[in-house]
Structure 1
């Protein structure tokens, strides 16, 4: 019988936890965890899920789509808006857009300000 485990947190390495938390806070509307500081910042998500950001002093950004520096994690977000509208807003917030877009019109692959790839898909 499998354990009864519930996913409680997803944490990304980064050079500046408060800055990356601010990007994702603007993008998602999630609330900043009250115990966030310079070494670890978190956002309180739905159903108790914490999206965390921890300082990694020797952080190297993923080099997606090649794997010279592996992506290590990939997050997908469902958006209410048209993908082009959501993409434009995320680019304004500091996201990047790789040239390689493998999903056609179904999804967009973007990168957060420190290089973690993530997708947006229509809800």
Structure 2
């Protein structure tokens, strides 16, 4: 039997995140991305989607945000926006904070989501 030369491929169905309040995080990222909260699971979790990608946010009572930049990050999101300055203002109004440490220079901005987890924002079409 001949071996197939086709590479195995997959599709990301969902990514999961934990924080102090999964529902609040889902609301924050849904607003940040212009997505919808598509399902909630009591007060413990909520899902958001754009129709092709889904994120689920869980409440973890023992959650501890990383002490960034001292702690290495296991994972973080990079979000792009047409108007980064307006996005930054809007995200801060929705509960994000901007740490003093900004290693991206003019290429990207680091914000902390309401649970204290870092994520980056940059202009669409830039490498961050």
Task: Give me the TM-score of the superposition, normalised by structure 1.
Answer: 0.88
The superposition leaves residues 82-108 of structure 1 with CA deviations (integer Å, 9 ceiling, x where unpaired) of x22221111111101111111111110
1:50 pairs with 38, 41, 54, which one? 54
5+ long unaligned stretches in structure 2: 1-5
SS in 2 for 1:33: strand
SS in 2 for 1:34: strand
Q: CA RMSD in A?
A: 1.5
Displacement over 4 Å in runs of 4+: none
Question: May I ask how many residue pairs the two structures share in their alignment?
Answer: 119
Task: Give me the TM-score of the superposition, normalised by structure 2.
Answer: 0.84
CA shift for structure 1 position 78: 0.8
5+ long unaligned stretches in structure 1: none
The superposition leaves residues 33-75 of structure 1 with CA deviations (integer Å, 9 ceiling, x where unpaired) of 23443221110135x21111012121001111111xx432110
| Greater C-alpha Rg | 2
SS in 2 for 1:94: coil
